[in-house]
Amino acid sequence: MLTTATRVAIPFLHCADIELPRQVTKLYDLAYNLWWSWNPSARELFDQIDPSHWRHYRNPVELLINIEPSHWLPILEEGSLLRRYERVTDDLESYLERRGGCWFDHQHGGQLESGPVAYFSMEYGLHQSLAIYSGGLGVLSGDHCKSASDLGLPMVAVGLAYANGYFQQTIDADGVQQHFYPEYDFTRLPLRPVADPNGGELRVSVPLPGREVLARVWVAEVGRVPLLLLDTCLAENDPADRPITGQLYVRGRAMRLAQEILLGVGGARALAALSIKPAVWHINEGHSALLQLERSRQRIEESAGSRSLASVVDEVRRDVVFTTHTPVPAGNEQFDRELAQRYLEPWSELLGGLDGLLALGDAHPDEEGGAFNLTALGLNTSRWANAVSKLNAEVTSRMWQHLDLPRAAGEPVIAPITNGIHTPTWVGEEMGGLFAKILGRDWQSRLLDEAAWQLFRQVEDGEVWEAHQAQKRRLGRFVRHQTRRQLARHGGSPEELRQVDVLFDEEALTIGFARRFATYKRAKLLFSDLDRLRTLLADPQRSIQILLAGKAHPADRAGQALIRDIFALSQTEDFRGRVFFLEGYDMKIGRMLVQGVDVWLNTPRRPMEASGTSGQKAAMNGVLNCSILDGWWPEGYSGDNGWAIGEEQVNETLSEEEQDQYDAEALYRLLAEEIAPAYYRRDGDAAPADWVQRMKASIATATPRFSSHRMVRDYIEQSYLPAGS
């Protein structure tokens, strides 16, 4: 008999002033469930209700708040809206009720019955309208929640509700990145306050030096997975504490530590207040590792102080999974010992002194007075740890092999579970339509079926090419719109603004590069030899254009300098109209690029890339990767589905300067001798046959192996079920 896992239900309060006609009252539940963000039919429904509001906000809660009552009568009388409404809301109800069961029910029914997986992360990228993410980690966390929902895994996620989010980016006329932090009104977003047992707003209290800070808890519904978000902007808090949940990745170290205490300790207390007892705790990167303080405190308190920290840590690590994402120092959060002592002081009496606690976060136990490292804390207090690609696991295992980690005999220090992406979120409309034609309307339920995706190799070339070209034309319209808006803000003349209409050649080979502008990602590698690049772009027979986007953290001066230099090049006579830098990088711009460019370029300095999921998003859209063999690409590259820059063995023997020179030479040679010729090798007006074969291979190989469905399946079978047993 099929056993259905329990969905975690969170009580909530209504907070938005939404009035709906009785015929469409289910729109309320639809608007508050981010299921709409990966279901085109739901977005089409909101677009049909009010196209202007929808295209402006892309936020159904804001749309429903702003609709005047008089707006409903004519669109309801027409009838087509009601028919679409019935289909979409029935689909949502069927999805939430698990009609027919889910993958988890069929494969692992009856397991994890003692409680859900509790997933903690500093950021979540679910949709651009809910701006509580900065980049790859957040998007990965959002995709993890979506696939957990699709697969039917009982899970509850925990994060912070940032009143100002991560900064919004503009680029001024000199190429200087400008930082703007909007103020979000959570009552106009798909968030609702969590209710306490007495019917009021749930509050949790978190100790910080000399005081207790209160946090309100919001809930975002991500399909079947509730996401709890903590918010300190409360009148009950001192004005100095209200901004703790103001900005994501605030540069101040004390404020950052306060955020991470709030996330870990406050998140654990929120679950306890809701009587949720997780079977497994998943700490996604070190930011949330401090939840182990609260769990240890609870055990010591239950024993009336008779147990030691060492004994309870042995207990609380048994059901913990820890994921480390990067070998880059900035991604392994650590704090000066003096600051850590001050902020963790409230725990000293509770946990029997600070020395034992600080030792858990000691990255170098043989050195006295070292920093308090949250990755070390996560590794020391978890039963099982993983990195996010096979190469990343090798690198991070070497980094941390000196720690005496509590691992069973034969277990790796850090195991690999390669990241994946939520395919329905990232695949374009036309390519998704082709998936449905080839594999059936239920193609999303077949993401784990590798044999089924091999059928894509047999699709007619013309169908694949036209789906891609439709997405590329949409990208072209978007690039022109963005460029015109940016140029107008810079004071461009009407004549210059009209010239934007002829920018972006939809027939030209288009290369995309978009990511965080950290220096190790080497955004300027393509621009290291301007004469060779100029020659490539100027070839009238093999035209090339380059689209770039990305942000540098406000404290990252070197990354901002990269943006300024590339933008300045894009404005010169030789590169204007061939090199575009798109400001305001977010999930929307990311989707447009990975769906519409021809080649996805990735040039990290090996082996610093943890995974590189943007390349996976591109691959599933038939966009060909041209990448250093780093992150996921050594696992994904098959020789016929894209290109590898250089040789992995050679790269590891070179200095950084030599590696940059070697990789730049390999990149220019690939572009000139293989990539551009393959793109322009055609028989009349037909699609480029060799190129399309590579596109089909890219989709067939990447889609089942690098979907977040596969990733979550691996977490379930390799870590969640063992940890929850």
Distance CA 606, CA 603 (A): 9
Q: Please say if the pLDDT value at position 484 is more than 60.
A: yes
3-state helix, strand, coil in the chain (%, to 5): 50, 15, 35
pLDDT at 366: 83
Token reading at 543: 């035209």
- DSSP alpha helix (H) spans, 546-599: 557-570, 587-596
CA 290 → CA 40, 270, 276, distances in Å? Answer: 38, 14, 19
Q: Compute the average pLDDT of residues 485-509.
A: 95
User: What's the pLDDT band for 5 if we cut at 50, 70, 90?
Assistant: low
| SS3 letters across 602-657 | ECCCCCCCCCCHHHHHHHHCCCEEEEECCCCHHHHCCCCCEEEECCHHHHCCCCHH
For the record, the structure tokens of 37 come out as 């963000």
DSSP state for residue 318 in the 8-state scheme: T
Residue 325: pLDDT above 50?
Answer: yes
Confidence (pLDDT) at 76: 92
The arithmetic mean of pLDDT across residues 488-500, rounded, is 95
Confidence band, pLDDT 50/70/90 cuts, at residue 367: confident
In a domain, residue 53? The reply is no
Pair (321, 351) in one structural domain: yes
- List pLDDT tens digits, range 591-603: 999 999 999 999 9
Q: Which two structure tokens, joined as six digits, stand for 115?
A: 């409680």
Residue 388 sits in the same domain as residue 534: no
Assigned domain for 34 exists: no
Sign of the CA dihedral with 49 first, then 53, 54, and 58 last: negative
Residue 91 lies in a domain: no
Which of 467-493 are b and which e, b meaning 16 or more Cβ less than 10 Å from the residue's Cβ? bbbbbbebbbebbbebbbebbeeeebe
Shortest CA distance to 611 belongs to which of 428, 432, 402, 386? 386
Regarding whether 278 and 146 lie in a shared domain, the answer is yes
Same domain? 415 vs 462: no
pLDDT confidence band for 627 (50 / 70 / 90): very high
| pLDDT single digits (tens) 640-654 | 999 999 987 766 678
Instruction: Verify that 656 and 694 share a domain, yes or no.
Output: yes
Helix (H) or strand (E) holding 322: strand 320-323
Q: State whether 652 and 717 are in the same domain.
A: no
Q: Which domain holds residue 389?
A: 103-419+712-724
534 and 394 together in one domain: no
Residue carrying structure tokens 């494969």: 107
The answer to whether residue 1 scores a pLDDT higher than 50 is no
Q: What would the DSSP string read from start to end of 349-395?
A: TTTT-HHHHHHHTBS-TTSTT--EEHHHHHHHT-SEEEESSHHHHHH
* E strands present in 489-598: 509-514, 544-549, 579-582
For the stretch 221-279, pLDDT in tens is 999 999 999 999 999 999 999 999 999 999 999 999 999 999 999 999 999 999 999 99
Q: Which of 614, 592, 617 is nearest to 602 (CA)?
A: 614
CA 139/CA 613 separation, integer angstroms = 9
* Same domain, yes or no: 165 and 179: yes
Q: What is the DSSP letter of 227?
A: E
The chain-wide mean pLDDT, for the chain, equals: 94
Taking 80 as the threshold, does the pLDDT of residue 75 lie above it? yes
Q: Is 70 part of a structural domain of the chain?
A: no
pLDDT band at 725, cuts 50/70/90? confident
From residue 211, how far is each of 201, 549, 615 by CA, in Å? 21, 43, 46
- Kindly report whether the peptide bond that precedes residue 540 is cis, defined as omega within 30 degrees of 0: no
Main-chain dihedrals φ then ψ at residue 159, nearest 5 degrees:
-155, -160
Cβ neighbours of residue 449 under 8 Å, at least 6 residues apart? 704
3-state secondary structure of 300: helix
Give residue 306's pLDDT.
Answer: 82
Res 4: pLDDT: 57
CATH number at residue 408: 3.40.50.2000
Q: How many domains does the chain have?
A: 2
Looking at the fold, whether 497 and 415 belong to one and the same domain comes out as no
- How far apart, in whole angstroms, are the C-alpha atoms of residue 633 and residue 565? 28
Please tell me the number of Cα atoms within 13 Å of 101 on its side-chain side: 12
User: Is 14 domain-assigned?
Assistant: no
**Beta strand pairing status for 177-180 and 168-171?**
antiparallel
Given a contact cutoff of 8 angstroms between Cβ atoms, the answer to whether 109 and 5 are in contact is yes
Cβ contacts of 269-272, under 8 Å, gap ≥ 24: 269/204, 269/205, 269/206, 269/294, 270/158, 270/194, 270/202, 270/204, 270/215, 270/217, 270/228, 270/230, 271/118, 271/156, 271/158, 271/228, 272/298
Residue of 306 and 83 predicted with greater confidence? 83
Which residues does 684 contact at the CB level (< 8 Å), separation at least 6? Answer: none
133 domain residue, yes or no:
yes
Q: Rounded CA gap, 715 and 723, in Å?
A: 10
Sign of CA dihedral 133, 136, 137, 138: positive
Give CA–CA dist 554/13, Å, rounded. 36
Do 119 and 323 contact (CB within 8 A), yes or no?
A: no
Residues 481 and 404 in one domain: no
Q: Write the Ramachandran bin of 285: left for phi over 0, alpha for psi from -120 to 50, otherwise beta.
A: left
**262 domain-assigned:** yes
What value does the mean pLDDT take over residues 568-573?
95
Q: Look at residue 2 in the predicted model and tell me its pLDDT.
A: 42
The span from the CA of 171 to the CA of 534, in Å, is 24
Q: Are residues 666 and 568 in the same domain?
A: yes
Confidence of residue 326 (pLDDT cuts 50, 70, 90): confident
Any domain includes 463? yes
Please give the share of the chain, as a percent, with pLDDT higher than 70: 99
Number of residues in the chain:
725
Question: In this structure, are 450 and 394 located in the same domain?
Answer: no
- What is d(CA 648, CA 436) in angstroms, rounded to the nearest whole number? 37
Mean pLDDT of 393-420: 89
